[in-house]
Amino acid sequence: MELLAWHVWMILGIIFIIIEIFDPAFFFVSLGIGAIATGLIALVPFMQSNVLLQIVLFSVISFIAFLFMRKLGKKVLAHPGEETNVFALKGKNGQVTTAILSDARGHVKVGGEEWVAVSEDNQAIDAGEHVSVVGIDGNKLIVKKIT
């Protein structure tokens, strides 16, 4: 079986798209799109023997696809999603379980878990008071009293 130019372009396109699956940088998918489009164009009879023109078309199509993929990538990566781990607690409310003394640590229960906490303005907060998490410092919460 003879390997024709369009076969090579299609195989390259599939390989590039598979690489993109493992390296999601929106670069190899552009090359994959360029290779597959060039493979389809190489099916046209007068293009079958003109390898130089196929390479030029591959370059141009890949570049144009890269520009569109870059825009798409920026949109997708601009929204990182919800915070996770301790950072997801920011903005949540909780209750002081161990008093937070001025310039000292106490404990706050937020979402069923107890965390070490300090007051945002270094003011004492009594046990039983309701607080809001305004920040995270390492593994301790920075809280302010809800009035």
What are the chain's domains? 5-78 (no CATH), 85-145 (2.40.50.140)
Confidence of residue 3 (pLDDT cuts 50, 70, 90): confident
- Per residue in 101-144, pLDDT tens? 988 899 999 988 899 999 988 889 999 999 999 988 888 899 99
- What is residue 81's predicted lDDT score, i.e. its pLDDT? 63
> What are residue 11's phi and psi, to 5 degrees?
-65, -45
- What is residue 84's predicted lDDT score, i.e. its pLDDT? 58
Q: Which residue has the higher pLDDT, 15 or 82?
A: 15
pTM over 0.95: no
pLDDT at position 27 over 90? no
Parallel, antiparallel or unpaired: strands 93-98 and 130-137? antiparallel
pLDDT at position 45 over 60? yes
**Cα Dmax for the chain:** 84
- Per residue in 57-103, pLDDT tens? 999 999 999 999 888 877 776 766 666 567 778 889 999 999 999 88
**CB neighbour class for 133 (10 Å; exposed up to 12, middle 13-18, buried from 19):** buried
pLDDT at position 28 over 70? yes
- What is residue 46's predicted lDDT score, i.e. its pLDDT? 84
Neighbouring C-beta atoms of residue 16, cutoff 10 Å:
20
Q: Are 16 and 31 in contact (CB under 8 A)?
A: yes
